[in-house]
């Protein structure tokens, strides 16, 4: 098939999936936080609040788009655009699985494989600061300016340990292309320990993984590092003066950054789409078993309903789960779903960690945040890099 048409189709699919994930990530976040805090969360729009993201989108689109009179207009409009542009474009180098074969067309489950993919992501994350910093400055509001300043200082500081944490696994895997990174993590020690970077010799990168995840929290301005939008100090931080779709752009950028960073952590440290244990022990049955268990749970609660509408919604969800579980053994779809399952479940676990931390930890004070970056994370990252380099050189 024509390269151009194929690329357009893939771009469309990836963009659609990314947008849906963005919308539903927010639904999942609200639900999880609600259950952590012993509430039920959104459930008015659609069954179990499943149409809430759609309602939110309609609300944001139709809301009055205000333009404060005292802003620098050019940068005020440029800032949300920059934020969302650099956040969304990063997904183009993320691979979701190996090569697939549909009706004779062989293609990779990735938009494009750059041989400097890791550097590309780092560069984009560095450029993403401008959106936030400019939004704070152009709003001509002291709270927004403080938010923008905090954000840029924080992102510069945490970019260093983040880059150091990324460098250590790269030393071991010896490539900068995401696809080759994942290929280098294939295989098993002793037949069952996966050769993911967190387990791989000569120096398992567990420290590096933890550092990366912490730095990623700070880079995406999430709790406990959400100083730029600390609502009890700064109203809403850098996006105080934004409303409607411009506010939604910042929102989308934040969630897209979360997804990208989780994907990068998965690809660098958790072996991408490599299964947890080898196929001869039945790793290909795992997704079906999980979905069938989910379906059984839905059926059980559907026939012993707590709320009246559970009698209808839960069995329907159960049937959907059974269908998805069966699809893993369908001829063409199965080969797409299998790597996607392992990839998405690892990304999902990290995203869940984000939400879990948000529901658990309080916010840092600003001096604590800076001291933590420079006096703890940075030395540890350097030490980790040195040890890794030494062991790689010796082995």
Partner 1 sequence: MDAILFLLFATIAVVCAVNLVLQKHPISSALSLVGVMGSLAVLYLLLGGEFIAMAQLIVYAGAIMVLFVFVIMLLNAGTEQRTKRHLWASYAGIPLIAASLGLGAYIIQRALPSTEGVKFGGFQGGGAYEIGKKLFEVYVLPFEVTSVLILVAIIGAIVLASKEVN
Chain residues that interact with partner 1, rule: CB under 8 A: 75, 114-116, 119-120, 122-123, 125-127, 129-130, 133-134, 136-137, 145, 148-149, 152-153, 155-156, 159, 176
| Nearest Cα residue to 228 out of 369, 125, 55, 374 | 369
In the complex, the smallest distance separating the C-beta of residue 389 from partner 1, rounded to whole angstroms, is 12
Q: Shortest Cβ distance from residue 39 to partner 1 (Å)? A: 39
Q: Which helix (H) or strand (E) holds 58?
A: helix 52-62
Contact 355, 28 (CB under 8 A): yes
Least gap, CB of 161 to partner 1 (angstroms): 14
32 versus 88: smaller Cβ distance to partner 1 = 88
CB of residue 243 to partner 1, shortest distance in Å:
23
Q: Which residues have C-beta within 8 Å of that of residue 281, sequence separation ≥ 6?
A: 192
Interior angle at CA 175, CA 170 and CA 178, nearest 5: 90
Nearest CB to partner 1, comparing residues 125 and 262: 125
Tally: H helices and E strands in the chain: 14, 4
* Beta carbon of residue 159, minimum distance to partner 1 (angstroms, whole number): 7
SS3 62: helix
Would you say 186 and 274 are in contact if contact means Cβ atoms under 8 Å apart?
A: yes
- Residues with Cβ within 8 Å of 310's Cβ and at least 6 positions away in sequence, in order, are 301, 302
Closer residue to partner 1 (CB): 174 or 368: 174
| Cβ neighbours of residue 318 closer than 8 Å, sequence gap 6 or more | 294, 295, 296, 297, 298, 299, 302
**Smallest distance from the beta carbon of 54 to partner 1, in angstroms?**
36
């Amino acid at each position: 098939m024509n390269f151009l048409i194929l690329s357009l189709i893939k771009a469309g699919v990836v963009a659609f999936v990314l947008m849906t994930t963005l919308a539903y990530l927010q639904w999942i976040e609200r639900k999880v936080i609600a259950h952590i805090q012993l509430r039920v969360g959104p459930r008015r729009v659609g069954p179990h609040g499943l149409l809430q993201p759609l309602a939110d989108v309609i609300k944001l689109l139709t809301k009055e788009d205000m333009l404060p009179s005292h802003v620098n207009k050019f940068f005020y409009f440029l800032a949300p655009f920059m934020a969302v542009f650099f956040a969304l474009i990063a997904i183009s180098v993320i691979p979701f699985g190996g090569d697939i074969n549909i009706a004779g067309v062989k293609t990779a489950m990735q938009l494009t494989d750059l041989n400097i993919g890791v550097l590309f992501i780092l560069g984009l994350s560095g450029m993403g600061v401008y959106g936030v910093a400019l939004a704070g400055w152009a709003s001509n509001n002291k709270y927004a300016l403080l938010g923008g300043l905090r954000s840029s200082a924080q992102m510069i500081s945490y970019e260093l340990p983040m880059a150091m944490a990324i460098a250590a696994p790269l030393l071991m895997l010896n490539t900068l292309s995401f696809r080759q990174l994942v290929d280098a993590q294939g295989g098993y020690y002793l037949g069952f320990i996966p050769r993911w970077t967190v387990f791989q010799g000569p120096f398992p990168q567990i420290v590096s993984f933890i550092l990366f995840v912490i730095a990623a929290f700070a880079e995406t301005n999430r709790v406990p590092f959400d100083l730029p939008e600390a609502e009890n100090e700064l109203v809403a931080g850098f996006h105080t003066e934004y409303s409607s779709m411009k506010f939604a752009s910042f929102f989308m950028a934040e969630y897209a950054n979360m997804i990208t960073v989780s994907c990068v952590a998965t690809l660098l440290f958790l072996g991408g789409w490599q299964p947890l244990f080898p196929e001869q022990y039945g790793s290909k049955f795992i997704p079906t078993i999980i979905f069938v268990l989910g379906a059984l749970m839905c059926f059980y609660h559907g026939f012993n309903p707590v709320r009246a509408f559970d009698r209808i919604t839960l069995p329907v969800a159960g049937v959907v789960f059974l269908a998805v579980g069966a699809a893993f053994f369908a001829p063409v779809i199965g080969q797409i779903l299998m790597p996607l399952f392992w990839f998405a479940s690892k990304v999902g676990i990290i995203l869940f960690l984000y939400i879990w931390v948000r529901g658990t930890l309080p916010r840092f004070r600003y001096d604590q945040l800076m001291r933590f970056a420079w006096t703890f994370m940075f030395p540890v990252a350097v030490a980790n890099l040195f040890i890794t380099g030494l062991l790689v050189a010796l082995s």
